[in-house]
Amino acid sequence: MTVISELASSAGVSQELSRILASPALASRRTRKLLGHIVARTLAGSGDRLTEREIAVRVFGRNEEFDPVSEPVVRIHAALLRRALDRYYRFHGMEGGVRIRLPRRALIPIFD
């Protein structure tokens, strides 16, 4: 499966990201920061290098010795993000024509 479908464009994804980040569906600052980070990295072509450790350090301010097994902060916020995105699309629809999804057990978003 491709990350960006033939119907989505980088500009369309960026516009949709702006709409999502401005919506009340993503009330948590940490969840907004997580979404912004993973979308930016994916659009920059480095989404395949997203790891729990990298996200924990860059998004959540953990140190380099962060252990994702003993501290599931990234998995917890990824689950919260999935629920927030579901809520956003349920109540705000597809205004921009592009949908940003975060599949279960994944850190790389899909744009379609």
Q: Is the pLDDT reported for residue 2 higher than 60?
A: no
Residue-wise pLDDT tens digits, 9-66: 889 999 999 999 999 888 899 999 999 999 999 999 999 999 999 999 999 999 989 8
Residue extents of the structural domains in the chain: 10-111
Q: How far apart are CA 75 and CA 94, in angstroms?
A: 26
Residue-wise pLDDT tens digits, 62-97: 998 989 889 999 999 999 999 999 999 998 876 768
The encoded tokens of residue 52 equal 């729990």
Q: How far apart are CA 92 and CA 62, in angstroms?
A: 33
Q: How far apart are CA 89 and CA 99, in angstroms?
A: 8
Checking 100-108 for CB contacts under 8 A at 24+ apart, the result is 100/13, 100/16, 100/17, 100/20, 100/35, 100/39, 102/38, 102/78, 107/38, 107/50, 107/51, 107/52, 107/55, 107/74, 107/78, 108/3, 108/38, 108/42, 108/47, 108/48, 108/50
Average pLDDT along the chain? 90
Crossing angle (nearest 10°) for helices 10-22 and 73-92: 90
> How much is the pLDDT for 73?
95
Q: Is the pLDDT reported for residue 1 higher than 60?
A: no
